[in-house]
């Protein structure tokens, strides 16, 4: 696999026990959660810039883990999901940019095969003819769906694509899409490097010591970090970070700017978007970190890099 750490140390789930799922569901019935809060939509969305930009580096948050990263003259989409629901749960907040307003896409980066990170209905509607960069073991599914311009990556694999260096990095998570394919493909995050700028899209991960190793290897300017789907912590701990753990991972990465994600769109666990944001801000203040380095994006907001 190319990883320096054994795969078992990156695997959060090998089998989910029915008893644990039942315990979680019973706990959920006893909780009263306020789901009225909605992550704000940016009030100055520049659709013209987004559709025509080929010269400036920029990061636009679509929602959940879907970003448009414009760098090196390329349009890159991470974990493309414009779906209006996930299982029985409807989407809490609409995507910040509709798929019809997206520019021609050159590259799609997929962190892993979970449905809230990989939606083939969304991929089918993306404009352009992108190359798909996916974890090892996932290429066959893409080709079965009719997408042949696919490149598989093992952990730590790096390749150059039109002056961009793209590296697939390990995380603490798991993969599954059907009944019999648990951990049949890898999972992880993506490092994008161009002209002295490094953007790290973490994907999904529990907290683990790998962040310290990644921080020693790379000078990271922007980290797109998951902060949601952590409650109940006894069940989610190895696959999703709490906001406090996300801040700890950020400090170990020694990164420049922290951009939260994976908290706004789908109720994958018992925490709420408002709780995740309040806790990450509290942890930031407790650690006495530079307030200018925590950038909570509104949906559809573009950050010029």
- H/E stretch holding 235: helix 233-236
- H/E stretch holding 214: helix 210-217
Listed in order, strand segments (DSSP E) in 94-218 are 107-109, 131-135, 150-153, 158-161, 164-169, 189-194, 197-201
- CB atoms < 10 A from the CB of 42, how many? 16
CB 131 within 8 A of CB 104: no
pLDDT value at 162 more than 60: yes
**232-286 tens-digit pLDDT:** 999 998 899 999 999 999 999 999 999 999 999 999 999 999 999 999 999 999 9
Rg (CA), the chain: 18
**Cα 57 from chain centroid (whole Å):** 19
CB 224 within 8 A of CB 253: no
User: DSSP code of 92?
Assistant: S
Query: Global pTM?
Result: 0.95
Which of 4 and 58 is assigned the larger pLDDT? 58
Q: Is the peptide bond between 139 and the residue preceding it cis, with omega within 30 degrees of 0?
A: no
Average pLDDT, the chain: 94
CB 186 within 8 A of CB 175: yes
- pLDDT at 290 (0 to 100): 98
Residue spans of the domains in the chain: they are: 37-304
- What's the distance, Cα to Cα, between the start and end of the chain in Å? 33
**102-126 tens-digit pLDDT:** 999 999 999 999 999 999 999 999 9
- CB atoms < 10 A from the CB of 196, how many? 7
Q: Specify the CATH class of 37-304 in words.
A: alpha beta
């Amino acid at each position: 696999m190319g990883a320096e750490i054994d795969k078992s140390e990156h695997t959060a789930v090998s089998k989910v026990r029915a008893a644990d799922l039942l315990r979680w569901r019973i706990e959920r019935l006893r909780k009263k959660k306020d789901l009225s809060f909605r992550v704000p939509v940016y009030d100055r969305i520049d659709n013209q810039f987004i559709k025509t930009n080929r010269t400036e580096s920029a990061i636009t948050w679509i929602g959940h883990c879907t970003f448009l990263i414009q760098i090196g003259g390329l349009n890159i989409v991470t974990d493309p999901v414009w779906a209006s629901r996930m299982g029985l749960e409807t989407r809490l907040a609409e995507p910040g940019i509709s798929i019809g307003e997206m520019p021609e896409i050159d590259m799609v980066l997929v962190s892993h095969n979970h449905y809230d990170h990989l939606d083939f209905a969304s991929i089918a509607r993306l404009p352009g003819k992108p190359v798909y960069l996916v974890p090892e073991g996932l290429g066959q599914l893409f080709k079965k769906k009719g997408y042949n311009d696919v490149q598989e990556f093992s952990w730590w694999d790096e390749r150059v694509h039109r002056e961009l260096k793209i590296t697939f990095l390990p995380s603490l998570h798991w993969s599954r899409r059907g009944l019999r394919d648990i951990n049949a493909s890898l999972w992880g995050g993506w490092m994008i490097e161009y002209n002295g700028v490094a953007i790290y899209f973490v994907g999904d991960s529990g907290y683990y010591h790998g962040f310290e190793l990644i921080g020693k290897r790379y000078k990271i300017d922007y980290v797109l970090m998951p902060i949601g789907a952590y409650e109940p912590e006894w069940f989610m701990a190895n696959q999703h970070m709490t906001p406090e753990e996300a801040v700890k991972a950020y400090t170990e990465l020694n990164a420049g700017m922290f951009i939260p994600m994976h908290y706004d769109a789908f109720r994958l666990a018992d925490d709420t978007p408002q709780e995740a944001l309040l806790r990450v801000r509290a942890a930031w203040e407790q650690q006495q970190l530079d307030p200018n380095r925590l950038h909570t994006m509104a949906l559809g907001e573009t950050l010029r890099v």
